[in-house]
Structure 1
Amino acid sequence: MQEKFFDKKTLDFLLYDVHESEKLADLPYFSDHSKETFDMVLDTANEIAEKLMFPYLKEIDKNQPELVDGVVTVHPILKKYLKEVGEAGIIGADFSYEDGGAQLPFTINNMAGFILMAANNGMMYTGLTSGAARLIASFGNDELKKQYIAPMLNGKWQGTMCLTEPQAGSSLSDITSSAELTEAGNYKIKGQKIFISCGDHDACENVVHLVIARIKGAPLGTKGISLFVVPKFLEDGTKNDITNVGIYHKLGQRGVPAMHLEFGDNCLGYLVGVPNKGLSYMFQMMNEARIGVGTTGAAISSAAYHAALQYAKERPQSRRLNKKNELDSPQVPIIEHADVRRMLFAQKAALEGGLSLLILTSKYYDLAHHAENEVDKKKYHLLLELLTPITKTYPCESGLRVTSDALQCFGGYGFTEDFRAEQYYRDIRITPIYEGTTGIQAQDLLGRKIIMNQGEAMALLSGEIIDTITKAQSSSALAKYAGILAGELKKMNKTTNHLLEIAETGDVEKFLSDATLYLELFGLVIIAWQWLEIGLVAEAHVASDANFGNSELQTLKYFYHYELIKTDVLHKRLLDEEVITLATEEEIF
C-alpha cells in the first residue's frame, strides 16, 4: 500500500463541502478564479510534494544543515524544490497582481502549504519568504518593492523574520539591536538575533532579513521599535556585514537551518514604512505566521495519523479479547483492538477538527481583506483576531498528542528509525513554541482578544456558534450534540465572566495566571463547534457515501464523548479561588 501523508478526499470535503471555499471566487477580488483553478494549485502542490518532498523526509532529517567556514550548506534537493515552487507561483500565489501574485485566496494557498508540509515539514522555507515579502509589499516604498518582491516570490531569494535576541527572548520590549541613520539615507544595523529559521543557506542567491531594531533616540519599549530590510547581499553585489555566529542543531525539523546572526558595525539596512511602527508592521507577518504554524501542526499530525492508520491495518497481533483463548484462530490486525481504535479516533478527531478550524480562519482572513463592504470586513477581522490564538495552538498542542498516539500504535517499532513516527514526534515539538508560545497565545486570547471592542468579537463568535446549534437541533442524529454544545457555550461564558471580574479588580497576575487552561477550554469548545459543522454536512453524505459519512459522524461522537468532557475539569479549576502558581515570598522550588 502506498504511504499517504494526507487524505485528499477529506481535505476536499472540509474545504468545499463544509466551508464552501469555492464561493470565495464570487468576490470581485478573486473573480478570475474558480474551483477549477483552486484544484489546479492544490494538485500542483501535491505533485511537488510527492516528487520532491515526501521521498526525502528521512534523508533531509539525517543530513542536517551545517555551518563550515561561515557557509551554511543544506540538502541539495532544497534548491530544486525552491526552484519548482517558485516557478509554479505557489510562494506568492495569494499576492495581488500588482505585487506579482495570482490573487488566489489565502485559504487555498494555505491548504497548498498544508499539503507540502505534510509531505516534508523540514522544507518550511517558502512560508517565511512569502511572509517577509508581504511585509515589504504592504509597508515598503516603491524602491523596496521593485528590488525585493519578485526574486523572493520566484524562489531565488529567501526571506526571514528576525525578532528574538539572546537577552530578550520573547520580550520584544527589551531588544537592544540598534539602527543609526547614515548620510545616504539608509541605516547601520547593529545587534544579534537568535533562532532565525532559514537565516542563511546555499540553496538561494540572497537572504532578505526583516529585522526589528531601535533607532538611536527612539522611545523605550515596543513603541520605539522600527522595521528594516537587511539583505545578505547589497544591491551592488557586495556582502553585507552579517556574520553567521552559529547554527542550532535541533530535536526536530532538522532540514531547516536555525541561525544565530550578528549584524556588525558596517551592516546596512533599509527602513520599512515609518520609524517606531515596526512592531505593528511585524504583527502582520506574525499573525499570518501563527496561522502557518497551526497549519504545520496539522500537517505533521496528518502524516503521523496516516502512517499509524496504515500500520494498524497491516500489523497482525493477538486476537479480540472475547476470543483471546482461541489460539488456533489467526491473529487480527491491531486496528480491531478497542484501545488502538481509541487512539486512532483521537488522532482523527484532533486532526480534522483542527484542519477545519484552519480553513475557517483562513476564510475569515480572505473575507477580512476582500469582502465587498466595510461592515463585513470589520466582522471578519474581529473573528480572525479572536480565533488566531486558537488556530495557532490547537493543531500544535493536540498535534503533540496525535504524534504520540501515532507512535504508540507502532509499539516498540515506533521508537526506532525503521518508521517515520519517531521523526514526526520530534518534528512537531517545536510548533507550540514557534511564533509565540502557547502561554503567550493564551495571554493574547484572554488578556486582549476576549475584551476586544468591548467584547464585540466574542459576541460575533457566539452568534456563529449559535447558528450552527440551531441548524443541528432539527437533525435527529445531531440534536443531542447541539444541546451539549449549547450547554458548553453557556458554561464558557460563565467562566469568562468570572475571570473578567478578576480583571476588573486590577490584579492582572491573578487574572492571567491560568490563561493557558482557559485557552485549552476555549479550544475544545471551538473544535466541538467545528465537529458539529462537519456533522451537518456528513449527515447528508451518508446516502451517497455511507462509509465516509458514517466515519465523520462517529468521529464527531468520539470528540463529544471523549474530548469535550475534559472541559468539566477546566471549568472547575478556572472557577477555583485558590491560585497556587502566583509568586510568594516562600521559596517553593
Structure 2
Amino acid sequence: MPDYKAPLRDMRFLIDHVFDFHGHYAGLGATDASPDMVGAILEEGAKFCENVLSPLNRSGDEEGCHFDNGVVTTPKGFKEAFAQYVEGGWHGVAADPAYGGQGLPSSLGLVLSEMIGSSNTSWGMYPGLTHGAMSAIHAHGSQAQKDTYLTKLTAGQWTGTMCLTEAHCGTDLGIIKTRAVPQANGSYALTGSKIFISAGEHDMSENIIHLVLAKLPDAPAGTKGISLFIVPKFLPESGERNGVSCGSIEHKMGIKASATCVLNFDGAEGYLIGEANKGLNCMFTMMNHARLGTGMQGLCNGEASFQGAVKYANDRLQMRSLTGPKAPDKAADPIIVHPDVRRMLLTMKAFNEGNRALAYFTAQLLDTAHLSADPDQRQEAEDLLAFLTPICKAFMTETGLEVTNHGMQVFGGHGFIREWGMEQLVRDCRIAPIYEGTNGIQALDLLGRKVLGSQGKLLRGFTKIVHKFCAANAEHPQLKVQVAKLNQLNQQWGELTAKVGMAAMKNPDEVGAAALDYLMYSGYIILGYLWLRMALVAQAQIDNGSGDPDYARGKLATCEFYFKRLLPRTATHRAAVEAGSECLMSLPAELFAL
C-alpha cells in the first residue's frame, strides 16, 4: 500500500493563490478562519491522516468488519483512531458553535475530508455520514431536536446515517414500503427494512442516529408521500435500546472496512423531522452533502493511486528509452521515461489536480451560500451549487476510477497483486459511481432537472463566468490559444443544450440518451476553465519571480497536456449526444439476448 502524504503544496496553491480563501473568508466575516488557523488545520490534519489513518488502510481492507448476531465490530485500530479524531476536535471543525462546533467555513471541512478520504476511504465514511446527518437536522429539525442530537453528534459521542434504499427500490423512492404509524405520545412506530446503509451499525460511538425515509398511513402515492424520521439506536431520554437492529452486513468488492448494513425496523420509535410528506426535501440536504463527499472519493482514491504510481515509475527499471539511455549507469531506464507511462501519469495528475480545483471552487460556493449576508449572493451560490453538484459527483468519480485504473496499470503485473495496494484503490473507488445516486441518475438530474428544467438558467449562470474569464484573458501572451479553445467550447455548450432541448420536446427519450455524455462534456469544459485559472497563476509566478518556478512549470505543462490530450474528448461526447436516442431504443428488448 502506498504511503500517503498530504499534497499540501497543491492545496496551498489553490487556497492561497488561485481561490484566495483568506480574502474569501474575510469577505464573509469568517474571521476565525485566519491564515494561521488554516495553516494549522492543514499541518495537523496531514499528520493525523498520514500517521494514524493511512497505516490502517490496508489492514482494514484485509480484516474487514465483523458481524455476530446483530453486533458489528470494525477492524483493529478503527475505534481508537475515531477516539483520537474526536479528541483532537476534528469532528466539529465546520459545525455550529451553538452545539459545540468550531464554526469554521465548510470549505475547511472539505479540505480536511480530502486528506481523510485519501488516507483511508473506508474509515472516512463513518464521520462523513455523521456530518450529513448533522446538516439535515440543523437545516430541518425543530429546536428541541437540535438540542437533543446536535451536541452529541458534533462531539462524536453519537454518529449518524441516512436510510433510503430498500431491497425492491433504490432510486425510485416513491415505492418504499417502510411505514410510520403515529403514536399517542407524538412519536411514530417505524416498521420496515433498509439495505446498503453505510455505518448503520458499528462499535465506534455510543449511539447511532438514523435518518429514515418512511410513509405515513394516509400518505399520498409516490415521492409526495415520503416523510423523514429520526430513529436513534438508543432512545435519548431513557437510554433503552430502540427497535432497530442490524440483520447482516454486505460482503463487498471494496470499502470492506466500512460496515454496509441491512437495518430492520420493528416498531422502532421515531420522530418526524420537518413536515409530514415533505421528507424528500429534507433528505436532499443530506444527499447533496453526501454527493459532494462521494465526488471527493474519486479525487481521494485517485490521489493515493498517483502517489504510488509516480514513485514506482521512478524506481522500476524496464528497457531503454527510445531516444537513448537515460540512466546509463543502470541495467535499464526507469519506466517514467517511456511515453505511454507518461501518458498515464499525466492523465492521473491532470484529473487529480483539476478535480481538486473543482472541489475547492464548489466548497467556496458552500461557504457563500451558508455565510453571506447578501441574499442575491446566496442565491447565486445556491444556483451554481445546484448545477455543479451532480457534475462533481459523477465526473469526479468517473475520472477518479480512470485514474486508479491507470495507477494499477503503471505497476504492470504487480498492480494486480494485493500486496502493492494499487488494486485496493480501484476496488474502493468502484462504488463511487454507483452509490448516492448512480452517475446515470446524476446525469438525468443535471440535464433534465437542472439545465432544461430551468430553461437553461442554471447553465447560463456558469457559462457567463467562463465567458467573462475568456474575454478578460483573450490576449494573454502564453495562454491565448487555450483561452480561445475554451471560449469556443463554452459557446458550443449552449448550442448543444438547445439542440437537445428541441429534440426532447419531440421525444422525451432524448434526455436520457444524451444525459451521461452531456454531463461528461460539461465536466471537461469546467476542468478546462479551472486549469486555465491555475495556469494563469503559475505563469504570473514565473513572470514575477514568486513561488517555486519548477512547481509553476509543472502546472503549465499539465495544463497544456489537459488541453491537448483530455479536453478533445468533448468532441466524442458531443457526437454521442447528437447521435440521439434512436440507436439506443430501436433494438427490441427481447433481441438483446440473441
Q: TM-score, normalised by structure 1?
A: 0.96
State the 1:171 CA deviation: 0.8
Residue 9 of structure 1 corresponds to which residue in structure 2?
A: 9
State the one-letter code of the partner of 1:568: A
State the one-letter code of the partner of 2:111: M
Residue 213 of structure 1 corresponds to which residue in structure 2?
A: 214
Tell me the SS of whatever aligns to 2:230. strand
Tell me the SS of whatever aligns to 1:184. coil
State the 1:585 CA deviation: 4.5
Alignment of 1:91-240 (within 5 A): 91-123=91-123, 124-235=125-236, 236-240=238-242
Residue 556 of structure 1 corresponds to which residue in structure 2?
A: 559
Residue 583 of structure 2 corresponds to which residue in structure 1?
A: 580
CA gap of 1:5–1:428, structure 2 versus 1, over 3 A, is farther
State the 1:516 CA deviation: 0.6
Residue 323 of structure 1 corresponds to which residue in structure 2?
A: 324
2:573 matches 1:570 = yes
State the one-letter code of the partner of 1:441: Q
State the one-letter code of the partner of 2:252: K
CA contact (8 A) 2:100 2:155 kept: no
Deviates more, 1:347-356 or 1:579-588: 579-588
CA contact (8 A) 2:510 2:580 kept: no
2:235 matches 1:263 = no
CA contact (8 A) 1:6 1:306 kept: no
State the one-letter code of the partner of 1:111: V
Residue 355 of structure 1 corresponds to which residue in structure 2?
A: 356
Task: Measure, in 1, the Cα distance between the counterparts of 2:261 and 2:63.
Answer: 16
Task: Measure, in 1, the Cα distance between the counterparts of 2:580 and 2:261.
Answer: 44
State the 1:89 CA deviation: 2.6
State the 1:100 CA deviation: 2.5
Task: Measure, in 1, the Cα distance between the counterparts of 2:5 and 2:505.
Answer: 48
Residue 381 of structure 2 corresponds to which residue in structure 1?
A: 380
Tell me the SS of whatever aligns to 2:245. strand
State the 1:328 CA deviation: 8.7
2:85 matches 1:82 = no
Deviates more, 1:112-121 or 1:42-51: 42-51
Deviation track 1:75-110 (CA, whole Å, cap 9, x = no partner) reads 242222222222233223212222332221111110
Tell me the SS of whatever aligns to 2:585. coil
State the 1:500 CA deviation: 0.7
State the 1:29 CA deviation: 4.6
CA gap of 1:427–1:349, structure 2 versus 1, over 3 A, is same
CA contact (8 A) 1:510 1:582 kept: no
Tell me the SS of whatever aligns to 1:169. coil
Task: Measure, in 1, the Cα distance between the counterparts of 2:16 and 2:99.
Answer: 28
Task: Measure, in 2, the Cα distance between the counterparts of 1:484 and 1:5.
Answer: 35
2:254 matches 1:252 = yes
State the 1:483 CA deviation: 0.5
State the one-letter code of the partner of 1:16: D
CA contact (8 A) 1:416 1:422 kept: yes
* Structure 2 segments unaligned to the other structure (5+ residues): none
Task: Measure, in 2, the Cα distance between the counterparts of 1:172 and 1:94.
Answer: 30
State the 1:504 CA deviation: 2.5
Deviates more, 1:328-337 or 1:249-258: 328-337
Residue 496 of structure 1 corresponds to which residue in structure 2?
A: 497
Deviation track 1:333-361 (CA, whole Å, cap 9, x = no partner) reads 11111111111000000111111001001
Task: Measure, in 2, the Cα distance between the counterparts of 1:468 and 1:80.
Answer: 48
State the one-letter code of the partner of 1:572: A
CA contact (8 A) 2:4 2:54 kept: no
Tell me the SS of whatever aligns to 2:201. coil
Instruction: Please provide the CA RMSD for this pair.
Output: 1.9
Task: Measure, in 2, the Cα distance between the counterparts of 1:452 and 1:571.
Answer: 20
Tell me the SS of whatever aligns to 1:255. coil
Residue 481 of structure 1 corresponds to which residue in structure 2?
A: 482
Tell me the SS of whatever aligns to 2:99. coil
* Structure 1 segments unaligned to the other structure (5+ residues): none
Q: TM-score, normalised by structure 2?
A: 0.95
CA gap of 1:319–1:86, structure 2 versus 1, over 3 A, is same
State the 1:111 CA deviation: 0.7
State the 1:327 CA deviation: 9.2
Tell me the SS of whatever aligns to 1:195. strand
CA contact (8 A) 2:70 2:245 kept: yes
State the one-letter code of the partner of 1:25: Y
Task: Measure, in 1, the Cα distance between the counterparts of 2:324 and 2:457.
Answer: 58
CA contact (8 A) 1:70 1:244 kept: yes
State the 1:434 CA deviation: 1.9
CA gap of 1:330–1:502, structure 2 versus 1, over 3 A, is same
Tell me the SS of whatever aligns to 1:259. strand
CA gap of 1:578–1:191, structure 2 versus 1, over 3 A, is closer
Percentage of pairs with the same residue: 34
State the 1:309 CA deviation: 0.6
CA gap of 1:584–1:335, structure 2 versus 1, over 3 A, is closer
Residue 61 of structure 2 corresponds to which residue in structure 1?
A: 61
CA contact (8 A) 1:83 1:156 kept: no
Task: Measure, in 1, the Cα distance between the counterparts of 2:163 and 2:489.
Answer: 40
Tell me the SS of whatever aligns to 1:523. helix
State the one-letter code of the partner of 2:488: G
CA gap of 1:69–1:379, structure 2 versus 1, over 3 A, is same
State the one-letter code of the partner of 2:240: T
Task: Measure, in 2, the Cα distance between the counterparts of 1:92 and 1:76.
Answer: 24
Task: Measure, in 2, the Cα distance between the counterparts of 1:115 and 1:384.
Answer: 22
State the 1:583 CA deviation: 6.2
Tell me the SS of whatever aligns to 1:323. coil
CA contact (8 A) 2:404 2:426 kept: yes
State the 1:323 CA deviation: 3.0
CA gap of 1:531–1:327, structure 2 versus 1, over 3 A, is closer
CA gap of 1:245–1:466, structure 2 versus 1, over 3 A, is same
State the 1:468 CA deviation: 2.2
Deviates more, 1:251-260 or 1:311-320: 311-320
Deviation track 1:191-228 (CA, whole Å, cap 9, x = no partner) reads 11000000001121111100010011011111111111
Residue 468 of structure 2 corresponds to which residue in structure 1?
A: 467
Deviates more, 1:371-380 or 1:112-121: 371-380
